[in-house]
Amino acid sequence: MEHTFIGKWITNSEFANLKPRNVFHKQLDKVDLPCDEHRNRHILFRRKFVCDSLAENAMLYISADDYYKLYINGQFAAQGPAPSYHFKYNYNVIDISKYLQKGENLIAAHTLYQGLINRVWQSGDNRHGLILDLVIDGETVVTSDESFITSPHTAYTEMGICGYQTQFLERYDSNAPEVGFTLSDFDDSNWENAKISKFADHTLTLQKSGVLEFETILPVNTTAVDNRIMYDFGSNYVGYLCVRAKGKTGDTVTVRCAQELNDDGTLRHNLRANCTYEEEWILSDGESSLDWFDYKSFRYAELSVPASVEILDVYFCARHYPFVLKTQLKPDYVSNKELREIWNLCVHTQKYGVQEVIQDCMEREKGFYLGDGCYTALTNMILTGDDSMVRKLIDDAFSTEFITETLVTCMCCSFMQEIAEYPLILVYLVLWHYNHTGDKGYLMQNFAKVTKLLDAYHRDYEEDYLLRNLDKWCVVEWPKNFQHGYDVDIREGQICKEAHISLNAYYLAAVRTVNKIASILNIPQYRDEGPLLSAFYTAFYDVQKKIV
C-alpha cells in the first residue's frame, strides 16, 4: 500500500531555489550538461523528538535524492533508495522500533548530491533533498519540515574521480566539526534550519525491491612491510573499509584497495576497470574512525601508516541485496572439484554483484545495464526464487520510453546510452519470467509494452523486413579488436546504415518470442514471422558456403 507523505522535501539554502534541469536526451543529440557548480555535496540533517513510552511499531517512510544513510540514536539503520527516476522515485519503509527509547530520540541522515552525469543515479539534475514521515503506533509524530536542522559535512573532499565519472575518491578528515553528528550529545548549535525545496517535483512510489543487507568480513591474512600494512579479505566483496586508529591531529593514512596483486606481491590499486583506488584519511587526536560514504569492490586493502599511528581495528563492511540461496548444485556434480569451485564463484558473484539494482560492474560503471542485467537478474531469480530484481529491471526498462520508445541501455541514471539489441533481449526476459513464475497477470501486463517496443523498431528502423539505419550502438561485437574485419560499421556514436546480421537475429527472435507470449495468453499472434525469416536468409545466408 502506497504511503501519502505529510513531510516535504527539505534541503539546504544551496539547493532550495534551484530549478531541476533536464538531463534526458537521445544519445546522438549534442547536449551540454556542465557539472562544475553543484557536485559532491554531503548534506546532513538532524531532528530530535520525544517518545512518551516504548514504541511497539515505529515505521519510518523515507527517501532522499541522490541518496541517504540513516541513523537513529547513533545507530546505523538503513541506506537508500534504489536508483529511480524522479517521476517514480523510490521511498523505503524502515522499521526503527528497536532503535527507539523512552524519552528523547534523534533522527540523523547523511545525504549525498553527487552531481555527475553517470550511470549510478539520476544526478546532475539539481534535485537534492530528504523526505520522511515517522509513524509510531499509528500516529505520525515526525515529518520532514523546517524544524530539521542541516549542515554540510566538511569531512569529505575530492581526490579525483574514478571509473566512468562514477564516483569521487574521498579524502576523509576526522577533524571536521561534523564528525559525530549521529550522536545525541553532538553540538549542533551552529547548524541552520532546513529549507523546503521550492521546485521539488518527485512523484514517490514504494520501493518494491528490498533494502541492502550488511555483514562484517574480517581479514584472513595481514602482512606488514615497513610502514605498510596489507589486509587480505579472502575474496572480492563490495562495500566499505572500516578502520579505527589512534594517532595525532593531522596524521595522514594513505588507503589503497585492489582486487588483485602485482607479480611482486604489491597491491594493483590501479584496477583493470579504470579505477585507481588510492585515498587519504586524516586523523584527529586520540581515536578516529574511517567513514567512507561511497562503496568500492575489492579484496585487498593497504594502509600506509605514519609511525605515530596505531591501527586498532580493520574489517570489511560488505553490502549486498538480500540473498538466500534456494538452488543447489546437482549431487552428481558436487564431487567434481572444478565444477564446485566454478559454482561457488558464480554464487559469490551473484550475492555480492547484485546491489540495489542489477549492475554491469561494481566499480567502473555501477550501471543498471539492460542487456547484462537480463541475464544477471534471471540467474538471481533462479538461484534465490526471488523475482524482485527481474521485475525491477523489466519495469524500469519500460519506464525509459519517455526518452525514446525503443528504450535506453542504462536505467535510472542521467547517462544517456542506446544499444540496439538490449531492449530486444528484454522481450525474452518477459517470457523467461513467466516460464519461471507462472505469473500470467504480469505477462499480460507486459504484452502491450513489448508489442509497443517492437512496433517502434518496426516504424523507425525496419525496411524490407530488416532493421537498418540504426542510431543506436550495436555492442555484440565490441570491442573493436574483436570485430575481425566485420563488414558493417557498428562503432558507437554514429548511425549504422547497413543491415546487421546479429541485430536482425535478435529482432527476429524477439518477434517470435512475442508470438509465443500471445499463444500463452490465447490472443492473436503479433505478426507473421515468415517475411522476416525470408528476408534474413536472403540477406545473410551464403548458399555456396552454406553459412550465414
Task: Decide if domain 10-156+175-191 falls under CATH 3.55.50.30.
Answer: no
Q: Among 321, 324, 461, which residue's Cα sits nearest to residue 393?
A: 321
d(CA 301, CA 285): 24
> What cell does 12 get?
539546504
Q: Is 520 left (phi over 0), alpha (psi -120 to 50) or beta?
A: alpha
Could you give the maximum distance between any two Cα atoms of the chain, in Å?
A: 86
Task: Decide if domain 215-320 falls under CATH 1.10.10.10.
Answer: no
Helix (H, G, I), strand (E, B) or coil at 348: helix
- Is residue 219 within 8 A of residue 314, CB to CB? The reply is yes
Q: Among 328, 384, 330, which residue's Cα sits nearest to residue 358?
A: 384
pLDDT tens across the length of the chain (548 residues): 899 999 999 999 999 999 999 999 999 998 999 999 999 999 999 999 999 988 889 999 999 999 999 999 999 999 999 999 999 999 999 999 999 999 999 999 999 999 999 999 999 999 999 999 999 999 999 999 999 999 999 999 999 999 999 999 999 999 999 999 999 999 999 999 999 999 999 999 999 999 999 999 999 999 999 999 999 999 999 999 999 999 999 999 999 999 999 999 999 999 999 899 999 999 999 999 999 999 999 999 999 999 999 999 999 999 999 999 999 998 888 899 999 999 999 999 999 999 999 988 999 999 999 999 999 999 999 999 999 999 999 999 999 999 999 999 999 999 999 999 999 999 999 999 999 999 999 999 999 999 999 999 999 999 999 999 999 988 776 666 766 666 677 778 888 888 988 899 999 999 999 999 999 999 999 999 999 999 999 999 877 776 66
> What cell does 119 get?
550511470
- Is residue 275 within 8 A of residue 286, CB to CB? The reply is no
DSSP 331: H
- Residue at 357: amino acid letter: V
Distance of CA 525 to the CA centre of its chain: 37
Beta pairing class for 286-289 and 195-196: unpaired
- Domain 331-355+357-540, second-level architecture: Alpha/alpha barrel (1.50)
Dihedral (C-alpha) 495, 496, 497, 498: value to the nearest 10 degrees? 180
- In the chain, CATH 2.60.120.260 covers 10-156+175-191, 215-320
Q: Is 129 left (phi over 0), alpha (psi -120 to 50) or beta?
A: left
d(CA 195, CA 112): 16
Q: Is the pTM of this model over 0.85?
A: yes
Task: Assign 3-class secondary structure to 257-313.
Answer: EECCECCCCCECCECCCCCECEEEEECCCEEEECCCCCCEEEEEEEEECCCCCEEEE
Distance of CA 256 to the CA centre of its chain: 23
Burial class, 64, CB count within 10 angstroms (exposed 0-12 / middle 13-18 / buried 19+): buried
- In the chain, CATH 1.50.10.10 covers 331-355+357-540
